[in-house]
Structure 1
Amino acid sequence: MPIWLTFAGTFAVAAVVVGIGGGRFVTVANLQNIAQRSVALGLVTVGQALVVLAGSLDLSVAYVVSVAALTASLVMAGDPARMALGVGAALLAGALAGLVNGLVITGLRVNAFIATLGVAYILRGAINAAFDNFAGAVPDQFQVLGYDVVAGVPVSLLLLGGVVAGAWYLMHRTRFGYHVYAVGGDAEAARLSGVRPHRVLVGVHVLSGLCAATSGVFLASRLGAGAPWVGPDGGYDLESIAAVVLGGTALAGGKGRLLGPLAAVAILAVLDSVFNFFQADPFLRTLVRGLVIVGAVALYGLRGAGERS
């Protein structure tokens, strides 16, 4: 619960600061904006959380986002009849990237950091060689996902909610979820208990690829097309890891909950909203976000140390 209290405190401080600056923070439009800002990173963070809980890491997610956005827009080619095909192709691309990550880590026994970073560079080289600008197009009907609201709730937030609900059920109500925690806590002990760590690791990396691809599809609906820079410019690789840690998940794996990282994503979205109101310098934004992440993680670490003593 501390991360949700941190979110509540951050939201209250943001409202006061914006109010002092002569603006209104708590408006329907701004709340919808914060919600939509949370979706892309939130989707990637769900997948990253699954990977980290299993004791692994995924640094390829930013480029998987770009690959998925480009794939969806190129396959759709502006044709409403091809929307389902485009989404399916994008998800397949994400799943394949995750499968490669998992197989390299488990089959070739390469450290997850190195393996996923290598895959990221491969994807980066491929998309930068093939594209240097927007490519493809999504039909206007598909942009409902990126912009429309239902009963005041952005459609994209409903998508995020559905993905979170599915991931929560998977982690807390299925054998696979229990195996993820077991492998993240102690892979050797899990193996001796009959769990197959390699299958679990491949599985979570495929899920991470699917989540990143879903984020890419959402961003394509926002932009109206795919672009090679949409993932890297969003910084989804490091920011998703930061959100996972800020949300209370141990980088060593085996400890943490799925909802905590989402609260961290919401905190970052609230900070972005304040920065936009004051038209803050991009470098200042990065500095403040870094200080918030380091400070919060340090406080949680001190709190945990105090509880153990």
Structure 2
Amino acid sequence: MKVLRSVGPIFFVLAALLVLIAVVNPFFLEPAGFLAFVKRAAPLVILAAGQYFVIVSGEFDLSVGSLVTVEVVVAARLIGGDEAATWPVLALLVVLGPLVGLVNGVITTGLRVPSFITTLGMMLVLSGAVFLWTGGAPRGALSETFRMFGRKDLGPVPWSVLVLLVAGAAAVLLMRSGYGKRLVATGDNERAAGLSGVRVDRTRVLAFVVSGLAAAVAGILLGGFAGVSAQVGQGLEFQAITAVVLGGVVLGGGRGSVVAAMAGAFTLEALFTLLNLHGISGALEYAVQGVIIIAAVAAGAVRLPRRRAARA
């Protein structure tokens, strides 16, 4: 019942938004229409799942949007439309994402630099590297095999939906493992977790690695779906954080469900879809994200004294 109370509300909100979308656009009720929505949402949902691991540990990862851009730009430049280069480049991208996450984690835990500063710096480094390499205009082209994952279908189901199902299942299984319990314990009370034998630094580093891997997968999907652009990942870090807190995950760590975080991403995508259907988008989307984040921080500030009082 406790889990249901913490996870349930976001699903009610999501269901209400989906009903409103269906009222405005009846095609949404058809399998093709609904799968198209899931296909659009898949990169953000995967990013939110990765961001959840970092946030529930008590940290932040602001570098994922820039990392997505790097993945797409690097892929286009190295592949250059050559089908034979697709799989080696895909392997490189899958390694590059976790490697950036590893650097973030080691700097945060080893040098005791706050993760907000570490990942903000990494975001700027990656953005600057992309600009220097491309001059603001990415070169090269993605192969059809690469674009298959974000654009094409396997039978009636888009590849991106299948990738999302695999990534979501992996995130749920990881959180149900011993590592997931250690991660939540670390975010809830770092000192107590350390005294109970949890290797806090190693646990947090792995969370950043997972976030980097999620960004790599999201970048691969977005490259196929949206094409090559130096702005493809712009703002995604804030959308991922917004989705996580919308799912009820407490900023500061120790509370929240990865399933609810992914549902939060679907909810945010549904909200943006509904706004677009009514001809409202752009700046209002950023305003909505800002309101959600402020409300989440305020709610966390109210709950924190209660948690401390309960421990006392």
TM-score for both structures, normalised by structure 1: 0.88
The offset of 1:192, in angstroms, is 1.0
Q: Is contact 1:77–1:137 with CA below 8 Å preserved after alignment?
A: yes
Q: What residue number does 2:194 align with?
A: 191
Report which stretch shifted further, 132-141 or 286-295: 286-295
Instruction: After the TM superposition, list the runs of 4 or more consecutive aligned residues in structure 1 that deviate by more than 4 angstroms.
Output: 288-306
Change (3 A) 1:288 1:206: closer
The offset of 1:298, in angstroms, is 7.4
TM alignment of 1:197-216, pairs within 5 A: 197-216=200-219
Q: Is contact 1:67–1:93 with CA below 8 Å preserved after alignment?
A: no
- Write the distance in 2 (CA, Å) between the matches of 1:70 and 1:221: 12
Identify which of 7, 19, 22 aligns with 1:15: 22
Q: What residue number does 2:101 align with?
A: 98
Report which stretch shifted further, 286-295 or 271-280: 286-295
The offset of 1:164, in angstroms, is 1.1
Q: Which amino acid aligns with 1:89?
A: L
Q: What residue number does 1:114 align with?
A: 117
State the SS of the aligned residue for 2:29: coil
TM alignment of 1:267-286, pairs within 5 A: 267-286=267-286
The offset of 1:269, in angstroms, is 1.6
Q: What residue number does 2:3 align with?
A: none
Identity level (%): 35
The offset of 1:250, in angstroms, is 1.1
Q: What residue number does 1:242 align with?
A: 242
State the SS of the aligned residue for 2:81: coil
Change (3 A) 1:202 1:295: closer
Deviations 1:144-195 (A, max 9, x none): 211223353221011011111111111102x222211111111111111111
The offset of 1:268, in angstroms, is 1.7
Report which stretch shifted further, 43-52 or 121-130: 121-130
The offset of 1:257, in angstroms, is 0.8
Q: Which amino acid aligns with 1:134?
A: P
Change (3 A) 1:284 1:223: closer
Report which stretch shifted further, 215-224 or 113-122: 215-224
The offset of 1:74, in angstroms, is 2.4
Q: Is contact 1:71–1:89 with CA below 8 Å preserved after alignment?
A: no
- Write the distance in 2 (CA, Å) between the matches of 1:84 and 1:286: 36
**Number of equivalenced pairs:** 300
Change (3 A) 1:62 1:13: same
Matched, 1:222 2:245: no
Matched, 1:231 2:233: yes
Matched, 1:55 2:62: no
Q: Which amino acid aligns with 1:77?
A: G
- Write the distance in 2 (CA, Å) between the matches of 1:66 and 1:229: 7
Pairwise CA RMSD of aligned residues? 2.7
Identify which of 154, 157, 171 aligns with 1:153: 157
- Write the distance in 1 (CA, Å) between the matches of 2:111 and 2:17: 44
Q: What residue number does 1:75 align with?
A: 78
The offset of 1:290, in angstroms, is 4.7
Change (3 A) 1:229 1:25: same
Q: Is contact 1:41–1:240 with CA below 8 Å preserved after alignment?
A: yes
The offset of 1:238, in angstroms, is 1.0
Change (3 A) 1:305 1:191: closer
Q: Is contact 2:186–2:254 with CA below 8 Å preserved after alignment?
A: yes
Deviations 1:81-133 (A, max 9, x none): 22221111112221121111111111110111111111111111111121112
- Write the distance in 2 (CA, Å) between the matches of 1:30 and 1:127: 35
Matched, 1:172 2:176: yes
Q: Which amino acid aligns with 1:9?
A: A
The offset of 1:73, in angstroms, is 2.3
TM-score for both structures, normalised by structure 2: 0.87
Change (3 A) 1:195 1:294: closer
Change (3 A) 1:184 1:292: closer
Report which stretch shifted further, 198-207 or 128-137: 128-137
